[in-house]
Amino acid sequence: MIFFNFWALVQWYLRPFVKWFLRKTTCLCELQRICYGEKAGAPRTCKVEKSLTLSRTREVKEVVSYFDSLVIERRFLLAGVQDVVDPALSIIMRVKKINPKLHSPFIVSFRRCLQQIWSYRQLMEEVEEMRKTQYDSNDASHEQKLLKLWSLLVPNEELEARVTKQWQHIGFQGDDPKTDFRGMGLLGLENLLFFATEYPQASSHVLSHSHHPSYGYTFAIVGINLTSMAYYLLKDGSAKTYMFNAKNDLPDIKLFHRFYCYLFYEFDKLWIESKPKNIMEFSVIFKKFENCIRMEMADPASVFRINLEVDTI
């Protein structure tokens, strides 16, 4: 630990010299070297984020601080590229003495990195607020979403009452699902609802697996556990691999929901393949699954897609 701290201190003091040396020998600043040398997506954006975060240049630090303030105010995505990102990009290019006529490819790459970095940070704020919002049975919108979840997952059976044992059919613990949302708040319900809405075939297939006579599990409770996993992967930055490698999307709540759906579908496959003796093996298999996901995300080149396969067990 002492050696690690010492080495980090050495790197901190050596960093300006190394950057100066490389600037002189390559005629490119650090941001240019990253944008030209790293693969688009997480490999490039994560290194750009690190470079901006460690920058000691006053103007760059002001841009970073300004973007962070927009995130707190939830105005980064609403502000748009032309109003916020492009002026900041111009400031950084001026400070770094980058000629826009000679380095137009850099502008495109760097703009994308800025959008991804602060869209991700704003997403974290949005997800955190949703997690803190507790399910309220007196809120008509909350109740409507819960009832919609039932109708999507069990379209051929009506609920006998709002509080009923029927909820256990889709994996809630008791007669009233609201008690199961305490840990992840409204985020848990939103995740489940998105899975059932956007991937009806996959969610129905996974639900059928949860009713297996030998390998069955509580669908909704497992789903809420996976919400917790997705939340912490987002919070500690591991999910950047998934978010930044999504070519056609910026990090937003919809992309987070898709990430959750990927986790749910892949966990279900692992659970069935593991052929657990009983539900008591859940924690072991769940931890194994989380470790596998974290290992995959440690490689910034990894790309994650839901590969829908209908099987019979």
Question: Mind listing the pLDDT tens digit of every residue in the chain (313 residues)?
Answer: 554 455 444 554 565 655 555 555 666 899 999 999 999 999 999 999 999 999 999 999 999 999 999 999 888 876 566 788 999 999 999 999 999 988 999 999 999 999 999 999 999 999 999 999 999 999 999 999 999 999 999 999 999 999 999 999 999 999 999 999 999 999 999 999 999 999 999 999 999 999 999 999 999 999 999 999 999 999 999 999 999 999 888 999 999 999 999 999 999 999 999 999 998 999 999 999 999 999 999 999 998 877 665 444 4
- Its pTM surpasses 0.75: yes
Question: What is the pLDDT at residue 249?
Answer: 86
> What DSSP letter does each residue of the chain carry, written as one string?
-HHHHHHHHHHHHHHHHHHHHHHHHHS--HHHHHHHHSPTTHHHHHHHHHHHHH---HHHHHHHHHHHHHHHTT-HHHH-IIIIIHHHHHHHHHHTT--TTT-HHHHHHHHHHHHHHHHHHHHHHHHHHHHHS---TT-HHHHHHHHHHHHHHSTT---SSSS-GGGGGGT-SSS-GGGGGTTTHHHHHHHHHHHHHH-HHHHHHHHHHHT-TTT---HHHHHHHHHHHHHHHHHTTTTHHHHHT-TT--S-HHHHHHHHHHHHHHHHHHHHHH--SSGGGHHHHHHHHHHHHHHHHTSTT------------
